[in-house]
């Protein structure tokens, strides 16, 4: 029996050690890849830098600065559409980064249509902080206020004083607000899709067919809201008053 | 009983027969099919309309007849009527299609024959001649039921000056289906809407009118003479006529507006006079250099996001231009702030607002500024020139200068934004010229590239973060409540600790001398104390018989009561025995076993 327990303990420790060293090795590899890509960028070998950043993203690495650097690399390569797309992706993870905002504005100014991302309706306007806080930060705040609320609940049960009851009500209101705000953020990210035009020029049609009337034209880098999509066509809108259908391969999001 | 199936069969035959009778075109019993067309009047003005009635008699559910080409009229269907009349067993059916014809121009016109094809035969009506005259000239002080007016705020405006064009409808009677067309020369003017129509009452020459007023703002974009064409209002006037119900006792009830009485619709087309405008050029005298045709009354303010920041960091300069006039045209694309900053302009935001009866608004320009040098910097005042048409002079408005403090930064990458035309030592001077605009550098801190995926593990972690505090709260709440009850409810606390206390005392007793008579007394005492604690009784002076009575009143089962009584009796009898021997702790084990049983 003792030998069996000893064996199991060693197996667990070995698994933890192997997985930890694998994670550490992976981290080191990512860091070296990023350093290499940044060096390529500084050496003006932008295509090589873009390839490394893209490869890291394909591997599942999600990081705002990774998207930001990729956006810069595409700007250098003259691919404004891809640059704006990556700046927008970076903005979801780094919503308060001023350098990113400045570069996105610059990139938008380089486009023919100069369309800025839309805010998405009344509720996001009322919950003005939603855009400035990322989804992960929202969840962190929610967890923090959840812990605070339940701690206050325990305190209120133990001390049974009016001050604790007031604290309980306040913390509950904040927790509900955090919960609502997180829900809205999650909904906006999953439902309110923002896309970018990748082709030099796209005709926006009145329906899903090239024979239909061209309502207006959009150009590379134009930021649009994607409302509906199928295998070939996507229904898009611009500035909430213009909408139509475009081939799905013309956009990316 | 046999009649019921018969009746059912009859109804099954009758219902389809009725449906066929109603819906299938059937030649009338008289078999005399006639098609006729008539108008309610054949002499009218351009402001009126004609009701064309096409009557088809002698056939039920005829096809819709084909109208002749009516290019000089606007045609609108106003419905279809069907009637059936019986005269001396002769049934006559007829269908009447009604159309409202609104003339577009004056003159004499012929409404061609209306044609209907029924079962291969063609039926046609006679042509109708109508004359459309000019609208009757409006006489001053005339008591009219409806009339329109148009006006402009200024007939000799300057180019880009706001001209408010107002259409007013005066009416004494109710009107429905109002349709207004306010055309303007798009090559001469740019239009801006001035909100919804206003509705108010006005007394003119002692007569109260309901007034509907619609205004638009026109901004002239060309110099010279231009004409605003007539505005056209199409509407249905509702005339309520009271029938002779006065003798009727219910007349007062039926004259209530809810029942409406008898109403008569009159379709009208009202046209206004055209208005000539003479658009003036802006005066040359006093015209500032680089003037950009902003006409109105404007104001300008400037603010910055932060006044003190690190080199390489950005601040936002917000310039707000507001006022009345063509604020929407204001542009600050080539903002000149010297060579101190790299400027990233944002898309300007324009918010329209109505001031009295004029259009204005607020246009906000945002610029991200990145300073080139550290130290104290000043954003010089930003000026805007505009022409005030009321004072007939040019004005210049400016923002206040803003001071900024730029601390030395920690950045490692050069911006490569500018190239100095002179030696690098002179870079702090004003000889550096901006050659191009560029993006800010890439991020190089490798530690910041940690992946922030929102994967399954992360979700499990968040779920745990949500659920664990709730679980801890439930455990803590149970414990706190238990403690509160133990402190506040004595009987509860005695009941809870009874078994533990008794077992502890048994343990202590097991180490004492088992042969003494005191040993049995103490064992008996432990059981009595246990029962006292369980039932919250004061003292322990009760016999085994009393124990039985007290326990009967409570919830112990009969076999357990019997076991207690038996053991207590045993202890009572042993107290009077000469020698008590419990070397194997049998009595203690027996007592412990009883106590465990009682707890179950």
> Do A171 and A223 fall into the same domain?
no
Q: Considering just the CA atoms, what is the radius of gyration of chain A in Å?
A: 24
Interatomic CA distance for residues B554 and B549, integer angstroms: 9
| Beta partners for residue B43, in sequence order | B131
Asked if A41 and B442 come within 8 Å (Cβ–Cβ), the reply is yes
Place of tokens 């950009």: B292
**B536 at A interface, C-beta within 8 A:** no
The whole-angstrom distance between B350's CA and the closest CA on chain A is 14
For chains A and B, what is the number of CB pairs under 8 angstroms?
A: 108
Q: Which two tokens stand for residue B490?
A: 């004595």
In a domain, A46, yes or no: yes
> Do A183 and A214 fall into the same domain?
no
**A75 at B interface, C-beta within 8 A:** yes
User: What is the pLDDT averaged over residues B532-536?
Assistant: 82
Asked if B442 and A75 come within 8 Å (Cβ–Cβ), the reply is no
Distance, CA of B209 to chain centre? 36
Nearest to B473 among A42, A136, A153 (CB): A153
**B463 at A interface, C-beta within 8 A:** no
- The answer to whether A84 and A196 have CB atoms below 8 angstroms apart is yes
Total domains present in chain A: 3
Q: Which pLDDT belongs to residue A220? A: 93
In a domain, A116, yes or no: no
Interatomic CA distance for residues A87 and A26, integer angstroms: 25
Nearest to A139 among B370, B449, B462 (CB): B462
Which CATH number fits the domain that encloses residue A61?
A: 1.25.40.10
HSE of A230, CA atoms in CB hemisphere, 13 A: 6
Asked if A69 and B448 come within 8 Å (Cβ–Cβ), the reply is no
Lowest-confidence pick of A112-116, B274-278, B522-526, B585-589:
B585-589
Interatomic CA distance for residues B122 and A216, integer angstroms: 49
Interatomic CA distance for residues A29 and A20, integer angstroms: 14
Q: Which pLDDT belongs to residue B370? A: 79
Q: Which two tokens stand for residue B273?
A: 């006079």
Q: Which pLDDT belongs to residue B438? A: 83
Asked if B472 and A150 come within 8 Å (Cβ–Cβ), the reply is yes
Length of chain A: 253
Beta strands (DSSP E) in chain A are: 193-197, 201-205, 214-219, 223-229, 233-238, 242-247, 251-252
Nearest chain A alpha carbon to B333: A109
The whole-angstrom distance between A231's CA and the closest CA on chain B is 27
Tell me the H-state helices in B164-222.
none
Contacts of A99 in chain B (CB under 8 A): 314, 440-441, 443
**Which region holds residue B53: left if phi is over 0, alpha if psi is between -120 and 50, else beta?**
beta
Largest CA distance in chain B: 148
**B345 at A interface, C-beta within 8 A:** yes
pLDDT class for B257, splitting at 50, 70, 90? Answer: very low
Nearest chain B alpha carbon to A27: B450
Lowest-confidence pick of A69-78, B348-357, B555-564:
B555-564
Among A76, A110, A144, give the residue marking a domain's end. Answer: A110
Nearest chain A alpha carbon to B476: A154
Q: Which of A26, A89, A101, A172 to mutate to test the interface with B (most CBs of B within 10 A)?
A: A101
CA distances from B33 to B55, B62, B63, B119, B127 (A): 10, 10, 13, 12, 18
CB contact residues (below 8 A), chain B span 397-416, against chain A = 413
Q: Which pLDDT belongs to residue B420? A: 36
> Do A185 and A215 fall into the same domain?
no
Nearest to A35 among B370, B446, B477 (CB): B446
**B443 at A interface, C-beta within 8 A:** yes
CA distances from B291 to B189, B360, B386, B395 (A): 20, 20, 7, 10
**A150 at B interface, C-beta within 8 A:** yes
**B196 at A interface, C-beta within 8 A:** no
Q: Which two tokens stand for residue B487?
A: 């402190």
> Do A184 and A201 fall into the same domain?
no
Asked if A73 and B442 come within 8 Å (Cβ–Cβ), the reply is yes
Interatomic CA distance for residues A107 and A91, integer angstroms: 14
What DSSP assignment string belongs to B82-141? Answer: EEEEEETTEEEEEEEEEEEEEESS-EEEEE---EEEETTEEEEPPPEEEEEEPPPPPPTT
The 8-class DSSP code of residue B166 comes to E
Nearest to A146 among B445, B448, B469 (CB): B469
Q: Which residues contact B513 (CB under 8 A, 6 or more apart)?
A: B519
Contacts of B440 in chain A (CB under 8 A): 99, 102-103
Among A110, A141, A172, give the residue marking a domain's end. Answer: A110
Which CATH number fits the domain that encloses residue A205?
A: 2.30.30.40
In a domain, A240, yes or no: yes
Least Cα distance to A111 among B365, B347, B182 occurs for B347
Neighbours of B489 (CB within 10 A): 13
In a domain, A117, yes or no: no
Distance, CA of A6 to chain centre? 46
HSE of B501, CA atoms in CB hemisphere, 13 A: 16
Place of tokens 């000893």: A6
In a domain, A31, yes or no: yes
**A77 at B interface, C-beta within 8 A:** no
| Beta partners for residue A252, in sequence order | A196
Q: Which residues contact B82 (CB under 8 A, 6 or more apart)?
A: B93, B94, B95, B96
pLDDT class for A236, splitting at 50, 70, 90? Answer: very high
Length of chain B: 600
Interatomic CA distance for residues B553 and A79, integer angstroms: 91
- The answer to whether A197 and A250 have CB atoms below 8 angstroms apart is yes
Asked whether the predicted pLDDT for residue A28 surpasses 80, the reply is no
The whole-angstrom distance between B321's CA and the closest CA on chain A is 21
Pairing of the two strands A242-247 and A233-238 = antiparallel
Asked if A68 and B443 come within 8 Å (Cβ–Cβ), the reply is yes
User: What is the pLDDT averaged over residues A11-28?
Assistant: 66
Asked whether the predicted pLDDT for residue B4 surpasses 60, the reply is no
In a domain, A118, yes or no: no
HSE of B70, CA atoms in CB hemisphere, 13 A: 23
Q: Which pLDDT belongs to residue B254? A: 45
> Do A34 and A133 fall into the same domain?
no
Least Cα distance to B62 among B78, B80, B40, B77 occurs for B80
User: What is the pLDDT averaged over residues A57-84?
Assistant: 93
Asked whether the predicted pLDDT for residue B1 surpasses 50, the reply is no
Asked if A34 and B449 come within 8 Å (Cβ–Cβ), the reply is yes
- The answer to whether B209 and B193 have CB atoms below 8 angstroms apart is no
pLDDT class for A201, splitting at 50, 70, 90? Answer: very high
- The residue among B326 and A15 whose pLDDT is bigger is B326
In a domain, A88, yes or no: yes
CA distances from B104 to A31, A204, A209, B432 (A): 78, 37, 39, 69
Least Cα distance to B54 among B70, B40, B73, B44 occurs for B40
Least Cα distance to B211 among B264, B167, B181 occurs for B167
- The residue among A177 and B307 whose pLDDT is bigger is A177
Interatomic CA distance for residues A74 and A57, integer angstroms: 15
**A23 at B interface, C-beta within 8 A:** no
Q: Which pLDDT belongs to residue A176? A: 94
Least Cα distance to A39 among A58, A53, A26, A27 occurs for A53
Nearest to A65 among B438, B443, B462 (CB): B443
The whole-angstrom distance between B338's CA and the closest CA on chain A is 20
Neighbours of B287 (CB within 10 A): 12
| Domain range enclosing A95 | 2-110
| Dihedral (CA of A161, A166, A169, A173) sign | negative
Q: Which residues contact B204 (CB under 8 A, 6 or more apart)?
A: B170
Neighbours of A142 (CB within 10 A): 20
Q: Which two tokens stand for residue B68?
A: 């002749």
pLDDT digits (tens, 9 = 90+) for B451-482: 877 778 888 888 998 999 999 999 999 999 88
Q: Which two tokens stand for residue A24?
A: 């550490």
Phi then psi for residue B289, to 5 deg, are: -65, 140
**Which region holds residue B155: left if phi is over 0, alpha if psi is between -120 and 50, else beta?**
alpha
Asked whether the predicted pLDDT for residue B177 surpasses 90, the reply is no
> Do A82 and A140 fall into the same domain?
no
pLDDT digits (tens, 9 = 90+) for B75-105: 877 788 888 877 766 778 888 888 888 888 8
Among A147, A171, A191, give the residue marking a domain's end. Answer: A191
């Amino acid at each position: 029996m003792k030998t069996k327990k000893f064996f199991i303990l060693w197996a667990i420790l070995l698994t933890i050690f192997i997985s930890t060293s694998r994670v550490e090795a992976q981290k080191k590899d990512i860091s070296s890849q990023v350093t290499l890509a940044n060096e390529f960028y500084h050496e003006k070998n932008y295509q090589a830098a873009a390839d490394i950043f893209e490869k890291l993203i394909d591997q599942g690495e999600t990081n705002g600065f990774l998207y930001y650097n990729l956006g810069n690399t595409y700007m250098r390569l003259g691919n404004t559409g891809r640059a704006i797309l990556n700046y927008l992706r970076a903005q979801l993870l780094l919503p308060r980064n001023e350098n990113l905002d400045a570069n996105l504005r610059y990139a938008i100014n380089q486009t023919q249509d100069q369309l800025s991302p839309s805010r998405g309706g009344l509720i996001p306007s009322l919950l003005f902080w939603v855009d400035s806080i990322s989804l992960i930060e929202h969840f962190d705040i929610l967890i923090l206020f959840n812990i605070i609320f339940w701690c206050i609940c325990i305190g209120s049960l133990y001390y049974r004083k009016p001050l604790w009851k007031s604290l309980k009500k306040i913390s509950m209101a904040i927790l509900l607000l955090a919960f609502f705000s997180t829900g809205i953020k999650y909904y906006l990210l999953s439902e309110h899709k923002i896309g970018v035009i990748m082709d030099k020029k796209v005709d926006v049609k009145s329906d899903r067919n090239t024979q239909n009337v061209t309502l207006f034209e959009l150009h590379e880098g134009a930021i649009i809201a994607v409302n509906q999509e199928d295998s070939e066509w996507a229904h898009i809108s611009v500035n909430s008053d213009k909408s139509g259908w475009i081939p799905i391969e013309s956009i990316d999001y | 009983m046999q009649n019921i199936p018969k009746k059912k069969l009859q109804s099954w035959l009758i219902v389809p027969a009725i449906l066929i009778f109603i819906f299938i075109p059937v030649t009338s019993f008289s078999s005399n099919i006639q098609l006729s067309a008539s108008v309610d009047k054949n002499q009218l003005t351009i402001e009126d309309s004609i009701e064309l009635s096409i009557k088809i008699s002698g056939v039920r559910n005829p096809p819709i007849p084909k109208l002749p080409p009516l290019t000089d009229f606007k045609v609108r269907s106003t419905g279809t009527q069907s009637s059936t009349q019986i005269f001396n067993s002769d049934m006559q059916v007829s269908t009447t299609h009604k159309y409202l014809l609104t003339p577009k121009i004056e003159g004499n016109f012929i409404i061609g024959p209306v044609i209907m094809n029924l079962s291969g035969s063609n039926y046609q009506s006679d042509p109708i001649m109508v004359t459309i005259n000019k609208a009757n000239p409006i006489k001053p002080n005339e008591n009219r039921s409806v009339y329109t007016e148009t006006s402009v705020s200024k007939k000799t405006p300057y180019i880009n000056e706001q001209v408010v064009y107002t259409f007013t409808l005066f009416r004494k009677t109710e009107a429905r289906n109002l349709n207004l067309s306010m055309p303007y020369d798009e090559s001469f003017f740019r239009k801006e809407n001035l909100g919804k129509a206003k509705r108010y009452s006005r007394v003119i020459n002692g007569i109260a009118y309901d007034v509907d007023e619609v205004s638009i703002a026109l901004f002239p974009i060309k110099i010279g003479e231009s004409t605003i064409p007539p505005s056209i209002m199409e509407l249905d006037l509702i005339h309520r006529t009271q029938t002779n119900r006065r003798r009727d006792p219910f007349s007062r009830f039926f004259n209530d507006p809810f029942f409406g009485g008898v109403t008569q619709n009159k379709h009208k087309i009202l046209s206004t006079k055209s208005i000539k405008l003479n658009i003036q050029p802006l005066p040359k005298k006093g015209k500032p250099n680089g003037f950009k045709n902003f006409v109105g009354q404007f104001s300008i303010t400037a603010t910055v996001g932060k006044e003190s920041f690190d080199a390489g960091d950005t601040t936002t300069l917000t310039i707000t231009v507001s006022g009345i006039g063509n604020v929407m045209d204001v542009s600050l694309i080539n903002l000149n702030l010297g060579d101190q900053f790299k400027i990233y302009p944002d898309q300007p935001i324009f918010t329209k607002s109505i001031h009295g009866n004029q259009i204005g608004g607020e246009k906000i320009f945002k610029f991200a500024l990145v300073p080139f040098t550290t130290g104290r910097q000043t954003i010089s005042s930003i000026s805007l020139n505009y022409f005030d048409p009321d004072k007939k002079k040019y004005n210049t408005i400016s923002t206040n200068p803003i001071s900024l403090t730029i601390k030395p930064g920690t950045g490692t990458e050069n911006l490569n934004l500018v190239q100095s035309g002179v030696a690098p030592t002179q870079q702090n001077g004003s000889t550096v010229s901006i050659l191009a605009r560029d993006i800010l550098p890439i991020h190089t801190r490798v530690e910041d590239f940690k992946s922030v995926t929102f994967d399954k593990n992360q979700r499990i972690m968040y779920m745990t973060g949500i659920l664990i505090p709730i679980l801890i709260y439930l455990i803590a709440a149970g414990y706190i409540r238990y403690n509160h009850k133990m402190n506040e409810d004595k009987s509860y606390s005695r009941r809870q600790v009874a078994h533990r206390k008794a077992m502890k005392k048994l343990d202590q007793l097991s180490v004492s001398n088992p042969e003494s008579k005191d040993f049995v007394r103490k064992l008996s005492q432990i059981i009595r104390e246990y029962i006292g604690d369980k039932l919250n009784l004061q003292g322990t002076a009760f016999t085994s018989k009393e124990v039985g009575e007290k326990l009967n009143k409570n919830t112990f089962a009969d076999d357990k009561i019997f076991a207690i009584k038996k053991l207590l009796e045993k202890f009572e009898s042993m107290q009077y025995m000469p020698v008590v021997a419990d070397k194997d702790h049998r009595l203690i084990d027996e007592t412990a076993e009883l106590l465990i049983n009682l707890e179950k």
